[in-house]
Amino acid sequence: MVEAKAIARYVRISPLKVNFICKEIRGKQVDEALSILKFTPKRGAKALEKVLTSAIANAENNFNLDRDNLYVSDAYANEGPTMKRFRPKAKGMAYPILKRSSHIGVVVKERE
């Protein structure tokens, strides 16, 4: 089975926030998934939409797959490196701030 994928690495958003949106589009037709992402009012939806568009372009140009038969077989956000910063707190203590990043990936396949 031929599959096309696209990955956006080091996106500065927590993978937990993106995975909620990934769950919404898994298993959907490509055009339906794009319309869901377009009208989802979350920041991660914009990044996920760009990755999905790239995966569709890869499928059409590299593997000659038909866009009408494509569906999202897998969408995920894995954890990337975390930037560690510190804020001063009371009594001379330091409070850690974790700025998380994620690797967002989308795999599209052709439905039989």
What's the mean pLDDT in 51-70? 94
The DSSP call for residue 92 is: G
pLDDT of residue 21: 94
Task: Place 78 in a pLDDT band, splitting at 50, 70 and 90.
Answer: very high
Which structural domains are found in the chain, ordered by start? 3-110 (3.90.470.10)
Q: What is the pLDDT of residue 111?
A: 87
Do residues 39 and 21 make contact, with C-beta atoms less than 8 angstroms apart? no
- 35 confidence band (pLDDT: 50, 70, 90): very high
Angle at 108 between CA 105 and CA 112, to 5 degrees: 160
Residue 112 predicted with pLDDT over 90: no
Instruction: Identify which of 59, 24, 64, 65 has the alpha carbon closest to the alpha carbon of residue 41.
Output: 24
